[in-house]
Amino acid sequence: MGNKLVTFSEEQLEEYQDCTFFGRKEILDVYKKFVNLSPAAVPEIMTRWDCQNFRLSRAEIEGLPELKENPYRRRIITVFSEDGSGEMSFNDFLEMFSVFCERAPKELKAYYAFRIYDYDEDGFLSLSDIAKTLRALCRDSLEEKDRRLIADRVMKECNMDDNGAISFSEFENMVTKSAEFAETFHIRI
């Protein structure tokens, strides 16, 4: 039951190649990862309907080895699940891997990083969002006062219009200048 063959149509594979940063083999590798999360549940033949509507649970997605140790795993899953529930279709799953691949442009990576760090989903990074980001990253290794100090410094450095929140354009301006950003916002297949 666990050795299911990938049975996408040629047209589906071509469409996936057109809308991702992957070739055929990489798409099939991502599909294998999807199947391995719940081998008995994933349909053997992935019709267009299945690719869009069959979903794995948040708990199943959290079992993905590439996300297990990621401090932002819950936010990543929420952001990439189409409805924000944490359940993912194959299309959602493929999009997540495509954004995290080496060939995805920095601007696209910045867009998704911003969404991941925007915990309250209001379109801005507030001090609260930055504090939650730091809490996830550092776990319990920083005291609250140190997190507040870092959050204040980030806000002061990035908030160019001094309105108390970092907009996407301010965030994008900051991260796209960073040589390390694209390298760290990455998952290998």
Identify the CATH number of the domain in which residue 140 sits: 1.10.238.10
Residue 189 in domain: no
C-alpha angle 35-41-46 in degrees, rounded to nearest 5: 60
Q: What is the pLDDT of residue 188?
A: 76
Inter-CA distances, 81 with 52, 53, 93, 94, Å: 11, 11, 8, 11
Based on the fold, state whether residues 126 and 156 are members of the same structural domain: yes
pLDDT band, very low/low/confident/very high, at 128 (cuts 50, 70, 90) = very high
Supply the Cα-derived Rg of the chain in whole angstroms: 18
Q: Does residue 34 fall inside a structural domain?
A: yes
Q: What is the pLDDT of residues 148-168, one digit of tens each?
A: 899 999 999 998 998 999 999
Q: How far apart are CA 183 and CA 34, in angstroms?
A: 24
Last residue in a domain, options 99, 115, 137: 99
- Whether residue 124 lies inside any domain: the answer is yes
**pLDDT value for 142:** 84
Residues 131 and 156 in one domain: yes
At 56 the three-state DSSP class reads: strand
Tell me, what's the pLDDT at 60?
A: 97
Task: Output the six-digit token pair for 167.
Answer: 């907009």
Cα dist from 131 to 109, 113, 119, 126, 162, whole Å: 21, 15, 10, 9, 18
Range of the domain at 170: 106-184
Contacts (Cβ under 8 Å, ≥6 apart) of 61 = 37, 67, 77, 86, 87, 88, 93
**Residues facing residue 55 across a β-bridge:** 89
Average pLDDT score, the chain = 91
Q: What is the pLDDT of residues 28-59, one digit of tens each?
A: 999 999 999 999 999 888 888 999 999 999 99
Q: How many structural domains is the chain composed of?
A: 2
| Domain identity same for 54 and 88 | yes
Per-residue pLDDT reduced to its tens digit, 65-117? 999 989 999 999 999 999 999 999 999 999 999 999 999 999 999 999 999 99
Same domain for 116 and 66, yes or no, is no
pLDDT, residue 150, reads 92
Q: Say yes or no: 61 and 136 in one domain.
A: no
Same domain? 84 vs 116: no
Give the model's pLDDT for residue 156: 92
4-14 per-position pLDDT tens digit:
455 788 999 99
pTM of the predicted structure, to 2 decimals: 0.89
Long-range Cβ pairs for the range 148-157 (8 Å, 24+): 151/127, 152/127, 154/130, 155/127, 155/130
Instruction: Tell whether the model's pLDDT for residue 1 goes beyond 50.
Output: no
Residue 51 lies in a domain: yes
**41 is written with which tokens?**
């549940």
